[in-house]
Copies of this chain bind each other. A is one copy, B any other.
Amino acid sequence: MLASVNEWTSVRGQAQDNRQSGSATLQEVARAAGVSLATASRAFNGSATRTVRPDLRERVLAAATALNYTPNANAQAMARGTTNLVGLVVHDIADPFFSAIAAGVMRAADEHGLIVTMGSTQRDPAREVEYVAALRQQRARVLILAGSRFADGETSERLGVEVAAFQAAGGQVAAISQQKLPVNTVVVGNRSGAAGLATTLHGLGYRSFAVLAGPPELLTARDRLAGFRAGLAKVGAELPAGRVVAGEFTRDGGYAAMSELLHRGTDATCVFAVNDVMAVGAMAALRDHGVRLPEEMAVAGFDDIVTLRDVTPALTTVRVPLEDLGVWALRLAVQPPADKPRTQRIRGEVVIRESTPDRSS
């Protein structure tokens, strides 16, 4: 007798603890509507093969509203075996480059009724791996890797392993601007854009260039440098040794790299920073060193970050439709999985502004 009471109370106790108190369950809705659990479920999901009588459906919906019922997404995920979660991994959400991409991903996700979760790795490859692992644990349906590193062997391999595990668990993957992983990829025309920029600048009369390159292990940075070189080569110009300074892919990195270049002393008349954020840092450095802009030194960037459209002098750059990058990445990812990873190529467009005035005349 006592035992039985004990059992009862303890079971009750557990039930209460576990319950998200206040959230009605489908079972309760069904009871309120006077139908079975199955019918209530069908009233919501309205399968094509099995219909529920209109009046019953009405009753269920009304009961749901009355009880302020919302389906428990976790329970649905369990029963259905799939979620509607999109995981987006970026280097730094406060960097306008990534927040623009994020905006695109979220817009596209919205169209598909998906929810976006984000992780900001602060450019730490280890955290990138961690985050992918967390998303696998969440059984996210889609993983989007933005700005993945072209890192040293070990971490890069661990990322590959995690991504493979994610896919093995049934997840879809897309990456932006990488080439290592065998996944759907949106590739930015970094080489062609930078090459186009180089020839255009040459056409404007510039002959002596320097480049503020990003970290050597960052693929995007490498490609832009290589493209710029190739573009110069095409018009018979070149980038002498000592004219390339590596730096962080940030505003401060650009500032530091430009300072370094000035410190070394240079006769370049035009400097190409491999992204806009670095270019802005470079402009600040030039100003701080009393170099007149753009008369004594012209500056060009890459990306055409919207937030930076109003710097003075207005920055010559290569416009990349960043938000579209995000949109395309999600679209690639949600397509029915193919045998081979797909690729979507997006080209940049050279935009000449005041920071590189015409010198040809």
Q: How far is the CB of A289 from chain B (nearest CB, A)?
A: 14
Interface residue from B73, B133, B136, B165 paired with A138 (Cβ < 8 Å): B73
Chain A: residues with Cβ within 8 Å of the partner, total of: 63
Do A115 and B115 have beta carbons less than 8 Å apart? no
Do B170 and A20 have beta carbons less than 8 Å apart? yes
Residues of B within 8 A of A75 (CB): 78
- Stretch of A80-88, A234-242, A263-271 at the chain-chain interface: A80-88
- Measured CA separation A92–B96 after assembly (Å): 12
Q: A4 contacts the other chain (Cβ, under 8 Å)?
A: no
Residues of B within 8 A of A21 (CB): 168-170
The copy count of this chain in the complex is 2
Q: A2 contacts the other chain (Cβ, under 8 Å)?
A: no
- Measured CA separation A287–B306 after assembly (Å): 18
Q: A68 contacts the other chain (Cβ, under 8 Å)?
A: yes
Q: A308 contacts the other chain (Cβ, under 8 Å)?
A: yes
Q: A251 contacts the other chain (Cβ, under 8 Å)?
A: yes
Residues of B within 8 A of A138 (CB): 73-74, 115
- Stretch of A45-53, A117-125, A221-229, A336-344 at the chain-chain interface: A117-125
Q: A18-B79, A85-B117, A102-B118 are in contact. List 17 more A-B contacts (CB 8 A).
A: A19-B81, A20-B139, A21-B168, A23-B139, A71-B137, A72-B78, A72-B139, A73-B138, A74-B77, A74-B83, A93-B99, A93-B102, A106-B119, A115-B117, A116-B118, A281-B310, A283-B310
Residues 289 to 329 of chain A near chain B (Cβ within 8 Å):
306-308, 310-312, 323
- Measured CA separation A85–B74 after assembly (Å): 11
Known: A23-B170, A139-B20. A74 touches B78 (CB 8 A): yes
Nearest 5 A/B pairs, CB to CB: A22-B168, A18-B81, A117-B117, A74-B77, A99-B99
Residues of B within 8 A of A165 (CB): 68, 70
- Measured CA separation A312–B139 after assembly (Å): 47
Q: A284 contacts the other chain (Cβ, under 8 Å)?
A: yes
Q: A176 contacts the other chain (Cβ, under 8 Å)?
A: no
- Measured CA separation A169–B25 after assembly (Å): 11
Do A133 and B70 have beta carbons less than 8 Å apart? yes
- Measured CA separation A119–B21 after assembly (Å): 25
- Measured CA separation A284–B117 after assembly (Å): 35
Known: A307-B307, A311-B312. A99 touches B94 (CB 8 A): yes
CB-nearest residue of chain B relative to A281?
B310
Q: A55 contacts the other chain (Cβ, under 8 Å)?
A: no
Q: How far is the CB of A101 from chain B (nearest CB, A)?
A: 9
Residues of B within 8 A of A107 (CB): 120
CB-nearest residue of chain B relative to A18?
B81
Q: A103 contacts the other chain (Cβ, under 8 Å)?
A: yes
Q: How far is the CB of A198 from chain B (nearest CB, A)?
A: 25
